[in-house]
Amino acid sequence: MRSRQRMFAAVMRLLLKCLRLGRRRRFKLVRQAEQLWHYGHLCLRSLLYNSFTNSDVVLDSLFEPVYWLVDHVTRWFGVVFVALVIGLTSSIVAIVYICLLPLILQTYTPAWICWHLAYGHWNLIMIVFHYYMAITTSPGHPPQAKDDLTGVSICRKCIAPKPARTHHCSICNRCVLKMDHHCQAAWLNNCVGHYNHRYFFSFCLFMTMGCIYCSISGWEMFRDAYAAIETYYQTPPPTFSFRQRAFHKSMVYLWVLCSSVALALGALTLWHAALITRGETSIERHINKKERQRLQKKGKVFRNPYSYGSWDNWKLFLGVDMPRHWLTRVLLPSPHLPHGTGLSWDLPPCMTEQRAPLLAI
């Protein structure tokens, strides 16, 4: 009897203990919910009652998840675009070697054969070199310490020194020296900045030249191939072999792709050539336009402080310090660095003419 009473008492104590633990757990969950509620209420109050808050800050906060998603998806698109440009370019080169080159060797004169071999291989080397350098060269980033930097501002996003002509890239999540843009359109998957701007422009230029060369060289064969393809569905069908059909389709593919890229990339190249002539980047183009309009209302004239004249702007951009550099640094692959460090913009050594101070951006 006593053993039963002891067992009953032990069971009751265990039950009471479980009830107390369950009650404590419920109290803990309630406390956590209250803390989350107070935290959310505090965040809402700080958003609504901060004296520095305006409608732009509220909209940026609301759209921050969308910005994050777009930036991360764009990074993956960049990898896909790099693989795509390598695949498309390789396919065009293969068609040229397999289809065009044998016909050139059989039908052209020795002088034209030498010209095609020399120009085609030079253009291909320049495309490969500048594309590789554009995607592998860092555009340049400002140092985190402000000890050696004078007259710089602070980036609001990365809370770090921000020299002149430096801008924050939301995709790279870093500040970039002399940032032009984050390049997806030309399939670099890299920011275009101080140290790789020349590589980017040279790649666009030589790729456009290569596409124009392929389009002009393959025009006659494209016409013949297109006319042959139109006869495929006649009755009776023509007796073309598999190799002939592959040749016809390859020529149409080569001409259509090269002509399309030449038009699109050629327009982009001309746009950047105009910016280089004015001593601007894509971002500075918009900044200077607003500054020009603002000063025009005050009766003043805006002058770009980073422009030294059209010819000198090109020499500065290409790194031409002496006449022989037009051959060794422009017409041949050259990994030379641009003038300056991207932290300050003093007059380059090759330009001895001192200019009057201009209005800053």
Q: Is 169 a catalytic residue?
A: no
Distance of CA 326 to the CA centre of its chain: 27
Give me the count of residues in the chain.
Answer: 361
DSSP for 45-80? HHHHH-TT--HHHHHHHHHHHHHHHHHHHHHHHHHH
d(CA 72, CA 41): 30
Q: For residue 23, how many other CB atoms are within 10 A of its CB?
A: 10
SS3 155: coil
**Residue 37 dihedral angles phi and psi, to the nearest 5°:** -65, -45
Q: Measured on CA atoms in the order 173, 175, 181, 185, is the torsion positive or negative?
A: negative
- Reference 98, options 210, 219, 254, 215; nearest CA is 254
- Looking at 183, 204, 211, 258, which residue is catalytic? 183
**Residue 153 dihedral angles phi and psi, to the nearest 5°:** -100, 180
- Reference 278, options 290, 263, 268, 288; nearest CA is 288
- Reference 83, options 172, 200, 188; nearest CA is 188
The residue type found at 294 is: R
**Residue 359 dihedral angles phi and psi, to the nearest 5°:** -65, 135
Known catalytic residues are 183
